[in-house]
Structures are given as structure tokens and as C-alpha cells.
Structure 1
Amino acid sequence: MVDDIKRNLNRRNLIKTSGVAGITAFAGCISTSDDGGDGGDGGDGGDGGDSGEGAYSIGMVDSLTGSLSAFGERNQRGKDLALGRVNELGINDQELDIIVEDSGSENQGGISAAQKLVNQDSVPFLIGAVGSGVSVAIYESVVQETDVVQLSQNSTGLGLTDFPGLLRMSPTGRAQSLALANIIADDGYDSVAVTYVNNEFGQSLTDAFVDAWDGEVAYNSAHDQEQSSYSSVMSEMNNSGADAWLFITYQAEFTTMVNEAFSSGYEAQFYGADSAQGSGVLEGTPEGSMEGMKITLPSAPIEQENYQEFATAFEEEYGEEPTSWSAYAYDCVINAALAIQAADDFSGSALQETVREVSRPSGEQVSTYEDAHAILAEGGSASDVDYQGVSGPIDFDENGDPVGFLQIVTVEDHEYVDAGFIEG
């Protein structure tokens, strides 16, 4: 099966196969500095300078509660691991402080959190958020008219590409949509039923899938989040006559759908985007209910030495393997630290000049904060550094999108099994 997937992906010129490997599936305000140093000025793009004798303070909007909190937990662990490494060496003899605010996994919650960080804490650099709709809402409502740098840790929706000032560490979901269209077709299906979560993430990935799909779309309908039942959606998908069902939704919603489809005796070949996969789904559904399901998800280049070192440290610290989401959050912190060290001053306008440069191919390739820090400490500029993240080469394009990696997993005996590792 793995060889067939690889061959078919190559044949369709979708994305380049790089190997076979995988990563196991997966409130309030938190200050993560050791000394609680004062935040810097410059959140509005004004003169920031440094943050005083304590630390350089930046912000992070994360999903500590709500439907995307599983991603938030992974983010916090990756962030904490990166922050510890940054503060072992410091930035210009100061520490980095990250003020974390909870979005509640909702657009308005993200806006409120970002407003607090930008307007009250005056952060010039904002990591955020989980959920494409939340990230876009923050950018449009809080960041867009300022010089604040926004770097999303976990947003794959295609709509972010329309905002070049909104950077993201996780890749666009377009590659996922193309991969899913190819995989379903190569499995011999010419008709598909699609349901997607009713937000920017779900709509944009579904639109890209439909554009790439050459067969019939027998059912294509949105569903709202956090509903107690999706029995009508399952019934409509079953009545569509399509034998392939695609789910572009979140873990909690998908878990409910699986249980209702299984209890109704519906039989179909399941496919899913990354957000429908996780340990909570396996724990919340009966064995056999998803057998043979195939899922595409953003991944990290786990054969790289720096990723392996990161994974070892992560497992030693937390007792479990990291996910790609942890790797993205880790790289957001490292990128922010390098941008701060390379900037002329600690202000949004200065960081706008360095945030992209510290990972561009024009510089010397380095794969750790220690090596990148050394180049800058010895008088190097942002353009002298090409940080290669644990999530892969970052190299933001003109739209703020990075190079991306994808993994294909299948469900076998109620476990996620690796079925491909591809670079987009």
C-alpha cells in the first residue's frame, strides 16, 4: 500500500515523496519567563527598545480551552522546550518572556486575547493562533494596521495566503486537499461525499479539494461546531450513494460522527484532513468504526538530525513523542528569538525586517538556536542566518507561507499507522 501511494503521488506530480516515516498522533494568562520581566514597548510599531532589565516580552495566543485545546497543549510543550533553550544562552544577555493568552478556540476570544497583548502588554511580536479563522480574525481586527509581527503556529487554511503580512509556521492546506483528491481517486472511487466544519479552515480546504477532484461530488455540506448530534449529516452522506466519505472537521465533531455512523450501520471508506485525527478520536470511538481510514496531516522531516534531537528531548521531558504541532510552536519561538537578536531594536518595525531574513536560503544553514545565535553574536546580520527548523526549512514565501511536509496515516486495528511521508 505504501509503495502504491508513493508511486501514485509521483505520477500525478502532486508532491515529492521524501521517505516513509511518521509521528504518533497525538487558561487565562501565563507568563513563561523565569523572572517575570517587564514587557517591551512597540506593540503598535512604535519605538520599542529592549524590555528593560528583565526580558524581551512577546505574546502568544493559544487554544488553552475549547474545541482546539488538544492542539494548544502540544503547542505549549513545544513552546516551553524552545524557550528553555533560548534562555540558556539568552538574547543580547537578556531572557525571552512569552505572555500566553487563551483564545478559547473562538474568533472573538482570539481577538480579545490579542488586543490585551498588543494594546496593554505592548508586545511587538505575536505568536498566534490555533485555527485559521482565529488567526485571520486576529490579523484583521488587531494586527493589520500596526507593525506587530504575527506568526501563526497552527493554521493551514488557504485564506491566510491572502494576507502576506500574516506569517505561519504550518503549511497551507492546499497540499492536503490535492493529496486527498489523488488518494481517493487512486483507491478507485469516482464519487465522494464531503462534510466540513463551517469556518474558514473547513471551507477553504474543501474548495481546494473540489477544484482538484475530477470525479463526482455527491454531497458537499458544512456543519457547525460543538453540536450534540450529527445524525442528519451522516444520514445525508449515506443517502448520497457515495462510497468515499471525506471529513474536514475537528476531533470532537468527527468522534460524534463516527459513533453515529457506526451505530446506524453505515459503511463507507473514510478519509480525513489532519484536524480529524488524534488519540482522543481513537479513545472515543469503537474498534472497527474507522478501519482503513486514510488521513493527510502536516508533518515534520523526522529523518533530519535536528528533528530527532528535538523528539528525544521532548520525549524525555513529557514522556511521549511530539507531534508536528509541537514542532511548529517550537520553531515559532526560535524564529522570534533570532529575529529579536538580529533586529536593530525591539520594535515591530525592526522585527518586520528580520523575521523573514533569519530563515532565508541566502544565509548559512544552521539547525539549532545555539548555532544561529553564535553567528549573530559574532556580528552577523539576519541575512547571514538560514535557520532550518525542526519542522523543516521555513523560508517564508511572498505570502508568508513556509515549505511544507505531509504525512499519510491509515487506521488499522484502531491504531494510526504510517503510510507515507511527503514534501510539498
Structure 2
Amino acid sequence: MSVFAKASASRSVRAVVTGVAMVGVSALLLTGCSSNAAEPAESEAPAASGDAQAITAGDRDLTLKIGTILPQSGALAFLGPPEEAGVALAVKDINDAKLGLTVEAIFRDSGDTTTDTATGSVTDLLSQDVSAIIGAASSGVSKTVIDQITGAGVVQFSPANTSADFTKYADKDLYWRTAPSDLLQGEVLGTQIADDGNSTLGLIVLNDSYGTGLAESTTTAFEAAGGEVVATSLFNEGDSNFAAQISEVTAANPDAIALITFDQAKVITPALVGSGYPGGNLYFVDGNLADYSKDFDAGIITGAKGTLPGLDVGTLGDFTDRLKEIDPTLTDYSYAAESYDAVMLVALAAYAANDVSGEAISKYLRQVSGGTGDGKEVTDFTAGAEALAAGDQVNYDGFSGPVTFDENGDPTEATIGVYEYIEDNTFKRIN
């Protein structure tokens, strides 16, 4: 089964457990939840909304230069390889099509919020006249560079940002993402924890817009299902000792503990289990749902569960095999499909506009996703470019699913998978 959600442009959302039941996600959740972070400014009426613009038929002769700020170091470094492989595979597929658009990609590190790596990388990329930057993975990192990128008239397109704060950010319609807001992931996670029979919940949470926002939506969903959050303990990026947080949460004796963290889970998890807390009662999220086979003793988190946006790459035919041709060392595929689709959508928007400037790309991104109305459904660059060259509208559906942007640059359709850890500390999709 898969948990699937679709939001209309009015921000109403429904989550569907395919073939079994319907789970509601309220419009209030999607528009009204806030984190401890400062409220972002609302943008003016988006230029991306409205009817589709006409496509000029004819051949193209375009060179599109893109950059990436994906985590080669820092707390999300485990996400860097699959994301960069997704970008590289998309670039290869576009260039192999030989249909009048050539993509040049420049890969740079985003680091995390304990460093200023992302700012230096963005400065370098802007100096090389990129039209779009793919990244960052971390919502906190993106917040440090979004004004720098969009202020330069360049598209910022994240495959993994999930903070709800970006939905109404004043980004000149230049910020887009293929990952859904954490308001949806929190709904799925909180409901899953309750459905598993837990009455009380503790949370250990990274104190940034990602962590506090996801914790809030998880709490709302869990309590709506009849549960009680008995402890929430925060820590800051860069912290290395979590004894106080573990003591605070375990003292409340919760049935389950959710770890809303990045790779700090590598330290927190064995410490929790070492304190006597059952590893099978832990819940993970997209920021830390990782292969721990080389990090933990076998079996310490057997039965633990976690959530991750996106389709199960194991169901995507040869996509995984093709990613491994790009990077034979891959063992994790989180956000690889979202990264691939980000590049594809940017390329198709440039093709539709017959213009590689960031502003032109942004004007066509919603359109090529199918967000402004009907278009020919396409699932690869070749089909999309051929249709656009014929003057037809297109609706790109990719490996991450039907993206279909709303007027805020958010995907209106998303899948949140539920995974469970097995004896060797790897995880398998169960829902």
C-alpha cells in the first residue's frame, strides 16, 4: 500500500491509503501551522498562476547551466550521493536525447547550518552564471541562501526541503520543490504512531524550522488520533551530547519516541537503547531514515518505523540500476527521484520558454508540471521536448510521482512511505 495525498490550488488536501481507507488532512494544517522559526513574508500574487502560456513550435538550440548545493558534508551527508546521482542521471538523459537542449551541471557542497559552506557555494555558482540551483536538502540551509539565489534572478529548486515556511515565502516565484511540506509527513507519522497502539509519545527534536515544524504537525496528528505527547525536548545543530534530552523524554515513560533529527540519530539511538528504552518503539523521519547496518549492533532497532516522502525506488523499474551506474557505491536512494525530476522540470520549462534565464524558466515550471491545466502526459525528456517542439502543452509525471505544482511552487500530489527496520538495521517499506 502507499499513502498518497493530493492538494488543490486552494490548499485543501486529502491523504488516501490506496484501496483501504481515506485519511483526512485538513486545509487548516496546510495553511496555518507554524514552527518556532520567524514567519516568512507572504509573496505578491504569483506570476506562476493562471492559464498556460502558448508554446512556440520549432527546434531549440539552448545550453542550460545549472548548479547544485547538495550535502557532500554535514548532518545530511548521507543524502548527498543519491541526490547528486539523480541530478547526474537526469543531465545524462537530457543530453543523450540530442533535442536541442544541452545541460551543464556544476556540483557544489551545501554543508549544514553549522557552517557557511552553502553561501560560498552559491556565490561560486552565481559567478558562473547558472540559471538554476538544485538544493539545498536541508530546509535550514535553504533559508540561509534563498534570498541570495532568488535575488539574483536564479531558480532555486530543492528536491528535499519540507519546511512549511517556504509555501508563502517571498521568493519572486523562483523557489520550487519536488518534496511535499512536512505538514503532510507529520500527519502520516503521527497517525501511524497512534495506529500502532501507542497512547503516549515523546519527541527529541532538532531546533530549526524543519524539526520544530515537523514536530508540531506530528503532535497535532497524534493528539487528533487520541494520543498525548508527554515530552518534547529540543537540541541545536552542532550539539554532540544528548543525555539531557534522553533523560527528559524517558522520564515521561512514553509508549513511543519519535526522533526528528538529522544524523544525530546515530548518537541518540544507541544511547536511548542503552538506557533501557526499547529500540522497536522508536520512530524515524526523512532526515534520519537511513541504513544503520554499519552503525548499530544488529537488531537494536528491529521493528522501529519511519516515514519518507516519495515512491519506493524498488518499484521504479531500472531507475535504481541506472543510478548505480552513475554511482556504484549507492546504498540509499532517498530523494534521488525528486532530484532527477527537479532537473527534468527545469529543463522542460527552459525548452517550453525557449529561454534559459531563471525568470523565463520560473514562468513555465508550473505549466510543464501540469499545474495550469491539461497537457500531454509525458514521463521522460524526449517525449516532453518533442511535444513542446510541436507547440503542444505537456504535463510531466516523473519518478517521484505526478508533481503538479500549485501557485506557491509546492507539489500538490505526494506519496509518504512508511518503513520498518529489520534485524540488520536496514529498512523495508511496509505502507
Name the TM-score, length of structure 2 as normaliser.
0.79
1:364–1:386: 8 Å Cα contact kept in structure 2? yes
Within 2, Cα distance between the matches of 1:192 and 1:248? 13
1:341-360 equivalent positions in 2, closer than 5 A: 341-360=351-370
Instruction: Name the counterpart of 1:271.
Output: 283
Name the CA shift for 1:324/1:66 in 2 (closer, same or farther; >3 Å).
closer
Q: Given the alignment, which residue of 255, 261, 269 partners 2:266? A: 255
Instruction: Name the counterpart of 1:392.
Output: 401
Name the CA shift for 1:145/1:208 in 2 (closer, same or farther; >3 Å).
same
Instruction: Name the counterpart of 1:295.
Output: 306
1:301–1:405: 8 Å Cα contact kept in structure 2? no
Alpha-carbon RMSD: 2.6
Partner of 1:296, secondary structure, is strand
Deviation at 1:328, TM superposition (A): 0.9
Partner of 2:111, secondary structure, is coil
Instruction: Name the counterpart of 1:18.
Output: 18
Instruction: Name the counterpart of 2:136.
Output: 129
1:78–1:326: 8 Å Cα contact kept in structure 2? yes
Q: Given the alignment, which residue of 155, 161, 171 partners 2:161? A: 155
Name the CA shift for 1:144/1:419 in 2 (closer, same or farther; >3 Å).
closer
Within 2, Cα distance between the matches of 1:14 and 1:231? 39
1:57-76 equivalent positions in 2, closer than 5 A: 57-76=65-84
Q: Indicate the structure with greater helix content.
A: 1
2:70–2:137: 8 Å Cα contact kept in structure 1? yes
1:125–1:348: 8 Å Cα contact kept in structure 2? yes
Deviation at 1:282, TM superposition (A): 3.1
The amino acid that maps onto 2:87 is K
Instruction: Name the counterpart of 1:205.
Output: 214
Within 1, Cα distance between the matches of 2:190 and 2:332? 28
How many residue pairs get matched? 370
Unpaired runs of at least 5, structure 1: 7-12, 21-52
Partner of 1:245, secondary structure, is strand
Superimposed CA distance per residue, residues 74-106 of structure 1 (whole angstroms, 9 cap, x where no aligned partner): 1111111111111112452x5210122211123
1:90–1:96: 8 Å Cα contact kept in structure 2? no
The amino acid that maps onto 1:288 is G
Within 2, Cα distance between the matches of 1:167 and 1:350? 14
2:85–2:326: 8 Å Cα contact kept in structure 1? no
Unpaired runs of at least 5, structure 2: 4-12, 21-60
Deviation at 1:296, TM superposition (A): 0.9
1:227-376 equivalent positions in 2, closer than 5 A: 227-251=239-263, 253-267=264-278, 269-279=281-291, 281-300=292-311, 307-319=316-328, 323-360=333-370, 361-376=373-388
Partner of 2:417, secondary structure, is strand
Within 2, Cα distance between the matches of 1:369 and 1:198? 40
Deviation at 1:300, TM superposition (A): 1.6
Instruction: Name the counterpart of 1:41.
Output: none
Partner of 1:194, secondary structure, is strand
Partner of 1:274, secondary structure, is coil
Within 2, Cα distance between the matches of 1:231 and 1:258? 11
Instruction: Name the counterpart of 1:43.
Output: none
Within 1, Cα distance between the matches of 2:102 and 2:350? 11
Deviation at 1:144, TM superposition (A): 3.8
The amino acid that maps onto 2:15 is I
Within 1, Cα distance between the matches of 2:322 and 2:89? 8
1:300–1:324: 8 Å Cα contact kept in structure 2? no
Q: Given the alignment, which residue of 96, 100, 121 partners 2:103? A: 96
Superimposed CA distance per residue, residues 125-152 of structure 1 (whole angstroms, 9 cap, x where no aligned partner): 2212110111222213x13434322111
Q: Given the alignment, which residue of 117, 122, 130 partners 2:125? A: 117
Instruction: Name the counterpart of 2:192.
Output: 183
Instruction: Name the counterpart of 2:116.
Output: 108
1:14–1:179: 8 Å Cα contact kept in structure 2? no
Name the CA shift for 1:346/1:91 in 2 (closer, same or farther; >3 Å).
farther
Instruction: Name the counterpart of 1:27.
Output: none
Within 2, Cα distance between the matches of 1:229 and 1:189? 28
Superimposed CA distance per residue, residues 32-62 of structure 1 (whole angstroms, 9 cap, x where no aligned partner): xxxxxxxxxxxxxxxxxxxxx9942122211
Instruction: Name the counterpart of 1:86.
Output: 94
Within 2, Cα distance between the matches of 1:417 and 1:123? 37
Within 2, Cα distance between the matches of 1:55 and 1:209? 43
The amino acid that maps onto 2:350 is I
Partner of 1:356, secondary structure, is helix
The amino acid that maps onto 1:400 is G
Deviation at 1:322, TM superposition (A): 6.3
Within 2, Cα distance between the matches of 1:185 and 1:19? 21
Percent identity at matched positions? Answer: 28
